[in-house]
Amino acid sequence: MKKLMSILGTMSVLTSSVATVVACGDSRDLIQIVISEDPNAFWTDYIKGAEDYVKTDELKDKYRVKWISSKQDSSIELSNTKSAVDGGAKAIILAQVDMKATEAAKYVNANNVPLIASNVPFADEKDLVDSEKPNWQVFQDGAKATAQLAEDIYQILEDYGVAKTNDKYKVYEIQGNPATTSATTRHAGWHSTNLFDNDWMGSMNESSLPDGVGVNGMFLEIQANQKVVANLQQIVAEDGADLIYAHSDAMARGALSALQTDQKGKDWLQPEIDEVTGEVTKLGGIIVGYDYDTISVTMLSNWKQNPTNNIFATVHMSASELGSKSVEKAIEEIENSNENKSKYKLDEITITVKAALDKKED
């Protein structure tokens, strides 16, 4: 009998403990971020910016931020979004996998939950019905950014003595998943300038990456590495590429690591340097990315000292700013009772090209 009483007493304590946990659950409003892929350096910065935004004295007791990955799969994106909405999230921040896949957005709007589009643009507003539109879109215009990047890189190559072929520089472009908005806009913006020859390798330049279903944060870097290894001899040949343009810094680093496996690749990266002044007189091959994540910040600053071990340029897409601004808009919409539902308002972050060498003054 004593043993039975002891068991019952223990059960009572356990039941009481569970009840206490439920009663003392986190009462802060949840802002759920649904990102397109598992975190690489860019998404790590993004998540930190989002989480840090709600750590202020004013917000830390009112809001919390969680994230989940859609692994570059729109069906997972929809499942993640439904789970968050059904679980009581007060706002959804959605970094879409595919701008043509709008079921997740529809589900959020159907449940009258604020929807913030982040990182890459949703489809053009005119192509969407109201049920597919976010309250706010916080983004960087990838086409505009890569057009500026292309123009700046063209000028830098010209300033530092790189000879053109038929008035164009030869580029090997490593594209992201062509189903994603970021890949299509970063490709379109670069090509809109008509400054580079993308077709010099013919079929060898088919450098789009396969769909990243179930990817982790290293997927794009590994795939880019394999692409460059496969085409390395054509890229570094005497009549080969003048630069590699990758759609993300992770892919740019994958290209860099591939070149470093072969002496010809290292030689291709080596600029000519004045022995007296130590200044670059003529560029070798360069690698250009997009993001300016924390790894690239270091690489660009180190390029002059060690050009064969670092990428050369990128677009500063402040992941931290994107994350914090997205959470800021989510909180605004929670507190104004979803006032801007489906209004597709825009909050665009700034565009800055970052390069290891500046353009020369005229």
> pLDDT (tens digit, 9 = 90+) per residue, 288-335?
999 998 899 999 999 999 999 999 999 998 889 999 999 999 999 999
Backbone angles phi, psi at 279, to 5 degrees: -90, 150
Mean pLDDT, all residues of the chain? 87
Residue in this structure with the two tokens 């054509």, named with its chain if needed: 234
pLDDT at residue 171 greater than cutoff 60: yes
Q: Are residues 130 and 238 in the same domain?
A: no
Characterise 349 by phi-psi region: left (phi > 0), alpha (psi -120 to 50), beta (else).
beta
Number of folded domains in the chain? Answer: 2
Q: Is residue 23 classed as helix, strand or coil in its secondary structure?
A: helix
d(CA 24, CA 14): 15
Q: Are residues 235 and 277 in the same domain?
A: yes
Side-chain-side CA neighbours of 280 within 13 Å: the count stands at 26
Residue 56 CB neighbours (<10 A) = 10
Q: Is residue 63 classed as helix, strand or coil in its secondary structure?
A: strand
CB contact set of 177 (below 8 Å; sequence gap of 6+): 72, 183, 208, 209, 210, 211, 212
Helix or strand (DSSP H, E) at 49: helix 41-53
Residue 109, both tokens: 């709007």
Residue 197 CB neighbours (<10 A) = 18
Q: Are residues 190 and 66 in the same domain?
A: no
- Pair type for strands 136-139 and 91-94: unpaired
Residue with the larger pLDDT of the pair 16 and 75: 75
CATH number of the structural domain spanning residue 202: 3.40.50.2300
The pLDDT of residue 202 is 56
Highest mean pLDDT among 13-27, 50-64, 125-139, 220-234: 50-64
Secondary structure letter of residue 164 according to DSSP: P
Domain hosting 324: range is 28-140+319-350
Helix or strand (DSSP H, E) at 71: none
The pLDDT of residue 72 is 85
Q: Is residue 264 classed as helix, strand or coil in its secondary structure?
A: helix
Q: Are residues 269 and 287 in the same domain?
A: yes
Length of the chain: 362
Q: Are residues 119 and 168 in the same domain?
A: no
Q: Are residues 81 and 101 in the same domain?
A: yes
- Backbone Cα Rg of the chain: 24
> pLDDT (tens digit, 9 = 90+) per residue, 228-283?
999 999 999 999 999 999 999 999 999 999 999 999 999 999 999 999 999 999 99
